[in-house]
């Protein structure tokens, strides 16, 4: 539920809620890898990752970290 103004929960309440959550990210390409980077910095209980694509030269530019050439062709 999105709330704004005076009825919005404070950061302590948000942190408490996140500590109980499990998060799944489907697809670790351009958008999913950035979402993973952000979610990993939160106190969520678990993060589950799903992606069957291989890291290839033509899709490496979409990743926030610098992919190493030795990882090309491997599953993400």
Distance from C-alpha of 4 to C-alpha of 17, rounded to nearest angstrom = 17
pLDDT for position 25: 95
Distance from C-alpha of 8 to C-alpha of 52, rounded to nearest angstrom = 38
Residue numbers of the chain with a pLDDT score lower than 50: none
Contact present, 41 and 18 (Cβ < 8 Å): no
- Angle made by CA atoms 38, 49, 14, in degrees to the nearest 5: 40
Tokens 């106190």 found at: 43
- pTM for this predicted structure: 0.63
3-state secondary structure of 25: strand
pLDDT for position 51: 86
pLDDT for position 70: 63
pLDDT for position 35: 92
């Amino acid at each position: 539920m999105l709330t704004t103004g005076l009825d919005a929960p404070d950061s302590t309440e948000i942190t408490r809620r996140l500590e109980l959550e499990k998060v799944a990210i489907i697809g670790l390409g351009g958008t999913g890898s950035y979402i993973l980077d952000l979610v990993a910095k939160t106190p969520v209980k678990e993060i589950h990752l799903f992606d069957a694509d291989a890291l290839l030269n033509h899709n490496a530019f979409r990743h926030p970290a610098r992919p190493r050439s030795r990882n090309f062709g491997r599953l993400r």
